[in-house]
């Protein structure tokens, strides 16, 4: 957390994910101030509330300050297809940039604090700060990379690996953000987990029980506790590579 930001101030959004767009490009204090003046709306959504939904005019981006959000759309039979879960620090709605309407539904999984940034303001900012455009492109690229990783996970692995991999990637994302990653809150229904992983709740339930029995990790009452990191990595099919994660690190600057 410390030393990452060229400018530190008591501004509105110093803790929200928009800094991930703006700070890496080295904003001046003046630019930060301008950004803060623009990001005035800081809505709060409670569990189950809709942030935006597919088909409505795509007006804004949201930076998630706290809480968790799922992004999904309905298939032709009315089933949810969940594409992503967003964690604090993530930007929501990037894929609707320059689009007439949103393509997905975004729903709060628990109480969420957000920052709202109008698309037209972002566009304005982009003209004043060319480096910002590159950052937006990078975030988009990262979103594509995450989706591809998820796709690979879903299509070329067994159910058990998918579940292990899901827990592992959540832990990693919390770690990247400086939170405790061996014991963290995960306010996702098992049913949503199943949907996200292309499985049924029954299968997820059976697999979670197995991991618990084997002492790898537990997930009870919204809390995940990892007990055996190597076994979890192995179950998730993480290559026994020595140290770092090339892509993520590059993306974060």
- Among 129, 131, 116, smallest CA distance to 59 is for 116
139 vs 216 by CB, closer to DNA: 216
Q: Which among a copy of itself, DNA, none contacts residue 242 (Cβ within 5 to 8 A by kind)?
A: none
Q: In angstroms, give the least distance from the CB of 225 to a copy of itself.
A: 27
Smallest gap from residue 247 Cβ to a copy of itself (A): 7
When CB distances are held under 5 to 8 angstroms depending on the partner's kind, the choice from DNA, a copy of itself, none that residue 252 binds is a copy of itself
- Nearest partner of 150 among 136, 161, 139, 135, judged by Cα: 161
Residue 45 or 168 with smaller CB distance to a copy of itself: 168
Enter the DSSP assignment of 179.
S
Give the interface with a copy of itself as residue ranges (CB under 8 A).
75-79, 81, 83, 95, 97-100, 103, 127, 130, 133-134, 136-138, 140-141, 143-145, 147-148, 150-152, 154-156, 198, 237, 239-240, 247-248, 250-252
CB of 149: closest distance to a copy of itself in angstroms?
10
| CA dihedral for 152, 98, 81, 220, sign (positive or negative) | positive
187, interface contact from a copy of itself, DNA, none, CB < 5-8 Å by kind? none
Shortest distance (Å) from residue 130 CB to DNA: 45
Helices (H), 61-215: 119-128, 130-155, 159-176, 190-197, 201-213
Query: What whole-number distance in Å separates Cα of residue 245 and Cα of residue 46?
Result: 34
Write out the residues near DNA by the rule CB under 7 A: 47, 158-160, 189-191, 198-206, 208-209, 221-222, 247, 250
User: What are all long-range contacts of 22-30, with beta carbons under 8 Å and residues at least 24 apart?
Assistant: 22/132, 22/135, 24/135, 24/252, 24/253, 25/129, 25/131, 25/132, 25/134, 25/135, 26/131, 27/129
Q: How far is the CB of 90 from DNA (least distance, A)?
A: 22
- Of residues 109 and 122, the one with the C-beta less far from DNA: 109
Name the phi and psi angles at 12, rounded to 5.
Answer: -50, -50
CB closer to DNA, 13 vs 197: 197
């Amino acid at each position: 957390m410390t030393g990452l930001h060229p400018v530190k101030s008591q501004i509105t959004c110093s803790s929200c994910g928009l800094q991930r767009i703006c700070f890496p490009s080295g904003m001046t204090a003046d630019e930060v101030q301008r950004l803060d003046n623009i990001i005035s709306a800081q809505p709060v959504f409670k569990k189950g509330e809709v942030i935006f939904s597919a088909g409505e005019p795509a007006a804004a981006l949201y930076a998630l300050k706290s809480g968790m959000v799922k992004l999904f759309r309905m298939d032709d039979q009315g089933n949810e297809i969940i594409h992503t879960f967003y964690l604090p620090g993530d930007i929501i709605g990037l894929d609707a940039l320059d689009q007439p309407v949103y393509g997905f539904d975004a729903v709060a999984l628990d109480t969420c604090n957000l920052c709202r940034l109008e698309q037209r303001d972002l566009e304005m900012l982009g003209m004043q700060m060319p480096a910002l455009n590159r950052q937006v492109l990078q975030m988009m690229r990262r979103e594509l990379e995450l989706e591809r990783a998820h796709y690979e996970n879903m299509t070329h692995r067994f159910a058990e690996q998918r579940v292990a991999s899901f827990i592992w990637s959540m832990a990693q994302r919390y770690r990247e953000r400086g939170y405790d990653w061996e014991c963290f809150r995960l306010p996702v229904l098992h049913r949503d987990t199943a949907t996200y992983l292309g499985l049924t709740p029954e299968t997820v339930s059976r697999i979670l029980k197995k991991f618990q029995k084997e002492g790898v990790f537990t997930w009870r009452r919204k809390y995940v506790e990892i007990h055996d990191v190597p076994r979890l990595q192995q179950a998730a099919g993480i290559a026994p590579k020595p140290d770092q994660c090339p892509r993520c690190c590059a993306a974060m600057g």
